[in-house]
């Protein structure tokens, strides 16, 4: 299979002199679910944002499906961008607009300018918006204001908006970092579904190794802007973990996924914690 | 106060020992302020020797004995719009029309004067700096001065008032609008950019919904201020009820002047109340 994304010797140095991405080269195959891990400030965000040029790379090349992203300008760049969906930690919805118009915004790259100005989306776009809102389970919220939704629901609108682009690649910049554990799993499952069912390649940065193990088909760890690990999630043992996160790090568990969002009883919770502690390398740190 | 540090053998922070009542910096600041006030008083030399309390009292008394004839046409050539209440209404609309013109100019300019919209390219950054500089220059010229200049250029009358007031407000509203754009959440801009939207689509979709409320709020604030200001403009050649007030006082017709002042006070108070109500309901 041909690589859908090829990152070649990418460097990003910010004006202050911070070397966020330091000679990173990656080949990402169609259909992969790549999880980016690493400490805050290790360059995950800069790497993700370089792919759709929200961040301007300092040097190196990014080739998306045979097209050089780093050389693209104007309309060419916008044509590449509309094939790359992105969701964000802070959801980045237009809070005062309705869920429906937020979702329809995903179609802007395909829409003539006059339709934007007169707020007249085509019938097909509206039908598609409802279809995508249905996929993420919130079609009934279409006419609510975006800021009336819970965090998990807002992120699902974010996913629906990205799906409107009919993307080949989905970038997710810490999509669950602002969500509670149960909601995190539900959002990650939607990403898993679009990866498996629609064959959309996903590159997702995460803070929790347990989520990376559960959802990723491949884990790339960044440390100070360099690739510190690239391989199967199962291959990250304690030694590798300490290499990535530093000697003092202790792995933190993000609660197990549950089919129901109902709260557990205290005993149930205790048993669950014990079971998890046994199943994972390290338990919850006492600090 | 210092026991905590003494008990632990730590140096006592100097801030703890400083008393606000004996702090020399504070005392010298107060002394300086008093000195400036005293010197200023000597230079300006307000002279009350020519004051005539008895005459002043009679004028104040006349201000409350209203000459209601100004509420009706004075002769067969005058219409309703020449009466005091007609002039008052015209003056309110003078403020509204001036605000309207300034909105029309300030809204497009405000996008050019917003750093977050214009950054990223040397040419657009240059436009940003130029637009903000123009806003500052316009605001630094007082409305009364602008209206006087307009009165010279366009002739005394409402044209000078409307255009002078509108000109000044382009500077004020432009700055307020630009800052509203600069204060928006940048996240949606980023998200809409990634969908492949162009710059205009990004502004339309991600910026507009976020600035509607601040724009309405700032507009009502300026509308309120302009309607309050409008009655004075006649004094410097801007037309409206100010001319009537000016003439009455020049003719020593304090009975008429008193009624006009009362009408202005009522208008301003009503405007104040109305704008507070509208803004409260909006926010």
pLDDT at A283: 37
Asked whether residue B150 falls in the same domain as residue B17, the answer is no
Residue B202 inside a domain? The answer is yes
Residue B65 inside a domain? The answer is no
Asked if B205's CB is within 8 angstroms of A92's CB, the reply is no
Residue B20 inside a domain? The answer is yes
Asked whether residue B149 falls in the same domain as residue B14, the answer is no
Asked whether residue B204 falls in the same domain as residue B274, the answer is yes
Residue of B nearest to A80 (CA): B196
pLDDT at A181: 86
Mean pLDDT of A117-141: 89
Residue of B nearest to A162 (CA): B195
Q: What is the DSSP string of A56-86?
A: --SEEEEEETTEETTT--HHHHHHHHTTEEE
Residue B195 inside a domain? The answer is yes
A260 pLDDT tier (thresholds 50, 70, 90) = very low
Asked whether residue B87 falls in the same domain as residue B152, the answer is yes
Residue B34 inside a domain? The answer is yes
pLDDT at B139 over 60: yes
Higher pLDDT, A254 or B39: B39
pLDDT at A252 over 90: no
User: What is the reported pTM?
Assistant: 0.79
Q: How far is CA B260 from the centre of its chain?
A: 22
What's the CATH code of the domain at B229? Answer: 1.10.3720.10
Strand A218-223 vs strand A226-231: parallel, antiparallel, or unpaired? antiparallel
CB-closest option in A91, A92, A113 to B201: A113
pLDDT at A246: 77
Asked whether residue B118 falls in the same domain as residue B210, the answer is yes
pLDDT at A208 over 70: yes
Asked whether residue B9 falls in the same domain as residue B133, the answer is no
pLDDT at A285 over 90: no
What is the average pLDDT score of chain A?
A: 85
pLDDT in tens, A70-108: 998 888 999 999 999 999 999 999 999 999 999 999 999
Q: How far apart are CA B116 and CA B213, in angstroms?
A: 19
pLDDT at A257: 61
- The tally of domains found in chain B comes to 2
Asked whether residue B112 falls in the same domain as residue B203, the answer is yes
Residue of B nearest to A87 (CA): B191
Residue B229 inside a domain? The answer is yes
Mean pLDDT of B152-157: 91
Asked whether residue B163 falls in the same domain as residue B24, the answer is no
CB atoms within 10 A of CB B27: 12
Phi, psi of A70 (to 5 degrees): -65, -25
Asked whether residue B82 falls in the same domain as residue B22, the answer is no
- Give me the sheet containing A33-37, strands edge to edge: A84-88, A169-173, A201-205, A33-37, A218-223, A226-231
Q: Which chain B residues are Cβ-neighbours of A165 within 8 angstroms?
A: 195-196
pLDDT at A269 over 80: no
Q: Which of A15, A49, A91, A96 to mutate to test the interface with B (most CBs of B within 10 A)?
A: A96
Asked whether residue B39 falls in the same domain as residue B127, the answer is no
Percent of all residues in chain A with a pLDDT value above 90, rounded to a whole number: 61
Q: Which chain A residues are Cβ-neighbours of B193 within 8 angstroms?
A: 54, 81
Q: Going by C-beta distance under 8 Å and a sequence separation of 6 or more, which residues neighbour residue B275?
A: B220, B221, B223, B224
Residue B58 inside a domain? The answer is no
Asked whether residue B147 falls in the same domain as residue B218, the answer is yes
Q: Which of B246, B283, B279, B252 is nearest to B264 (CA)?
A: B246
pLDDT at A275: 45
pLDDT at A253: 66
Residue of B nearest to A53 (CA): B194
pLDDT at B16: 78
pLDDT at A276 over 80: no
CA A109, A111, A117, A119 dihedral sign is negative
Please tell me the least confidently modeled range out of A6-10, A21-25, A241-245, B56-60. A241-245
Asked if A164's CB is within 8 angstroms of B195's CB, the reply is yes
Asked if B193's CB is within 8 angstroms of A81's CB, the reply is yes
Asked if A211 and A204 touch (Cβ cutoff 8 Å), the reply is: no
User: Which residues span the domain enclosing B29?
Assistant: 3-44
Asked whether residue B76 falls in the same domain as residue B129, the answer is yes
- Give me the sheet containing A59-64, strands edge to edge: A19-29, A3-13, A59-64, A67-68
Q: Going by C-beta distance under 8 Å and a sequence separation of 6 or more, which residues neighbour residue B153?
A: B160
pLDDT at A268 over 80: no
CB of B185 less than 8 A from some CB of A: yes
Higher pLDDT, A273 or A24: A24
Percent of all residues in chain A with a pLDDT value above 70, rounded to a whole number: 87
């Amino acid at each position: 299979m041909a690589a859908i994304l090829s990152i070649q010797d990418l460097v990003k140095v910010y004006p202050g002199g911070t070397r966020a991405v330091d000679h990173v080269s990656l080949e990402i195959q169609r259909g992969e679910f790549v999880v980016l891990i690493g400490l805050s400030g290790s360059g995950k965000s800069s790497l993700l944002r370089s792919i759709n040029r929200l961040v301007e790379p300092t040097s190196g090349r990014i080739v998306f499906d045979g097209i050089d992203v780093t050389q693209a300008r104007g309309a060419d760049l916008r044509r590449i961008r509309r094939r790359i969906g992105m969701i964000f930690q802070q959801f980045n919805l237009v809070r005062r607009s309705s869920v429906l118009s937020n979702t329809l915004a995903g179609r802007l790259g395909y829409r003539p300018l006059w339709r934007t100005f007169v707020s007249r989306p085509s019938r097909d776009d509206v039908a598609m918006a409802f279809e995508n809102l249905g996929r993420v389970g919130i079609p009934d919220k279409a006419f609510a204001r975006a800021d009336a939704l819970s965090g998990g629901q807002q992120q699902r609108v974010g996913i629906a908006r990205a799906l409107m682009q009919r993307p080949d690649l989905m970038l997710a910049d810490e999509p669950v970092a602002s969500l509670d554990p149960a909601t995190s799993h539900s959002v990650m499952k939607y990403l898993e579904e679009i990866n498996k069912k629609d064959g959309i390649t996903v590159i997702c940065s995460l803070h929790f190794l347990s989520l990376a193990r559960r959802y990723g088909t491949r884990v790339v760890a960044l440390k100070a802007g360099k690739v510190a690990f690239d391989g199967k999630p199962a291959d990250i043992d304690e030694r590798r973990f300490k290499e990535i996160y530093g000697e003092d790090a202790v792995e933190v568990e993000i609660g197990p996924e549950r089919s129901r969002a109902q709260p557990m009883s205290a005993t149930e919770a205790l048993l669950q914690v014990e079971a998890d502690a046994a199943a994972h390398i390290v338990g919850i740190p006492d600090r | 106060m210092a026991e905590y540090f003494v008990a632990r053998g730590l140096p006592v922070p100097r801030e703890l020992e400083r008393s606000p009542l004996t702090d020399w910096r504070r005392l010298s600041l107060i002394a300086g302020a008093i000195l400036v006030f005293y010197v200023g008083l000597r230079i300006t030399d307000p002279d009350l020797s020519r004051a005539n309390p008895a005459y002043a009292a009679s004028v104040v008394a006349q201000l409350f004995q209203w000459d209601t004839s100004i509420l009706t046409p004075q002769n067969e050539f005058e219409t309703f719009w020449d009466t005091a209440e007609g002039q008052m209404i015209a003056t309110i609309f003078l403020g509204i029309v001036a605000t309207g013109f300034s909105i029309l100019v300030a809204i497009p300019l405000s996008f050019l004067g917003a750093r977050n919209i214009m950054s990223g390219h040397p040419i657009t950054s240059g436009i940003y700096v130029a637009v903000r500089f123009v806003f500052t220059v316009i605001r630094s010229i007082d409305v009364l001065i602008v209206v006087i200049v307009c009165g010279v250029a366009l002739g005394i009358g409402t044209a000078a008032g409307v255009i002078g007031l509108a000109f000044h407000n382009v500077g004020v509203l432009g700055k307020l609008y630009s800052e509203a754009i600069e204060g928006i959440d940048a996240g949606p801009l980023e998200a809409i950019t990634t969908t492949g939207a162009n710059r205009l689509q990004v502004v339309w979709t991600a910026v507009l919904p976020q600035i509607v409320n601040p724009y309405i709020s700032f507009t009502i604030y300026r509308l309120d201020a302009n309607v309050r200001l409008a009655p004075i403009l006649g004094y410097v050649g801007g037309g409206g009820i100010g001319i009537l007030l000016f003439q009455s006082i020049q003719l020593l017709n304090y009975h008429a002047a008193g009624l006009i002042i009362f009408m202005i006070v009522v208008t301003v108070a009503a405007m104040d109340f109305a704008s507070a109500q509208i803004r409260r309901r909006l926010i």
